[in-house]
Amino acid sequence: MFADRLRRVQERVQAALDEALATDPDLPVIQAMRYALRGGKRLRALLVLEGARLHDIPEDEAMPAAAAVEALHAYSLVHDDLPCMDDDDLRRGQPTVHVKWDEATAVLAGDALQTLAFELCCDPVLGARRIDLVAALAQAAGARGMVLGQALDIAAESADQPLDMDQITRLQAAKTGALIEFSAIAGAILAGADDRPLRDYARAIGLAFQIADDLLDVQGDPAKAGKKLGKDAAAGKATFVSLLGVDGARQRAEELVEHAIAALAPYGQRADNLREAARFVISRET
């Protein structure tokens, strides 16, 4: 069962993250890091571990990479929630870091979570190719990945007209797609294997993930989502839903999931968990 697999990943990744911060001093910034690392779907970690399994890498030997993507993801959320960014008070049903502590602690905790992600990728258990993993993570995180996406998002807010389909696709491919892609190909990188099928898979589910997010924003249950919804419409922001309509967006997401599943053909049945993950991406309620 996919749900059982995901729950098991959640437990194991949480244990790895707890251990990474276990010896650190008891300062507010460390508490804030631990707080920001709790919860979450751990979809990215699952992609890392399943991508590794396809390349015969045991779970223990991929775990630091799975923990690293979750640390990098947590950093991006803490900074995106800041008052000067999206100004969000609620995340995963709890007050955001700058609300629970203060802005200085949130900036610093985010900074340290990014550093932690790179530190985790240096764990010798990941093997001789971990330097390639660091390089790929830096690509996904930097000014051609997540930072580019966030910068395009900020620029869009002060633009005269809403983004078109190409512009939104480019923005989201950078903002959320780059880290999802990194997660899916991490195992192939560590194994020195061809990463093209997993890259193809990841690009499709990354986009489907964002379309599902846009659908949640207009149709979701805030109690289940654990965050404020309807924000994009209120801000007059262009989204996949505003451009394609609810039905068009759902259909596009389903097509992308089918494309992603087809891309996994070279791996046969061993990729069934990744197939389930693709379906999960558009069925989730959080």
Residues in contact with a copy of itself by the rule CB under 8 A:
21, 24-25, 27-30, 33, 75, 79, 82, 84-85, 102-105, 107-108, 110-112, 114-116, 118-119, 121-122, 130-131, 134-135, 137-139, 141-144, 147-148, 150-152, 154-155
User: Smaller CB distance to a copy of itself: residue 151 or 243?
Assistant: 151
Could you give phi then psi for residue 250, rounded to 5 degrees?
-65, -40
CB of 263 to a copy of itself, least distance (A): 28
User: Smaller CB distance to a copy of itself: residue 122 or 165?
Assistant: 122
User: Smaller CB distance to a copy of itself: residue 107 or 244?
Assistant: 107
DSSP-derived secondary structure for 150-207: HHHHHHHHTSSS---HHHHHHHHIIIIIHHHHHHHHHHHHHHT---HHHHHHHHHHHH
- Residue 130: both structure tokens together: 């971990």
CB of 69 to a copy of itself, least distance (A): 14
User: Smaller CB distance to a copy of itself: residue 116 or 180?
Assistant: 116
Could you give phi then psi for residue 71, rounded to 5 degrees?
-65, -40
CB of 78 to a copy of itself, least distance (A): 10
User: Smaller CB distance to a copy of itself: residue 9 or 108?
Assistant: 108
Rounded to 5°, the CA angle 190-147-131 comes to 20
Nearest residue to 280 (alpha-carbon basis) of 54, 63, 11, 47: 47
Residues 228 and 56: their CA atoms lie apart, in Å, by 41
CB of 22 to a copy of itself, least distance (A): 12
User: Smaller CB distance to a copy of itself: residue 135 or 165?
Assistant: 135
CB of 117 to a copy of itself, least distance (A): 9
**Is the CB of residue 137 less than 8 Å from the CB of residue 182?**
yes
Q: Find the helix packing angle between 63-80 and 103-120, rounded to 10°.
A: 160
CB of 135 to a copy of itself, least distance (A): 4
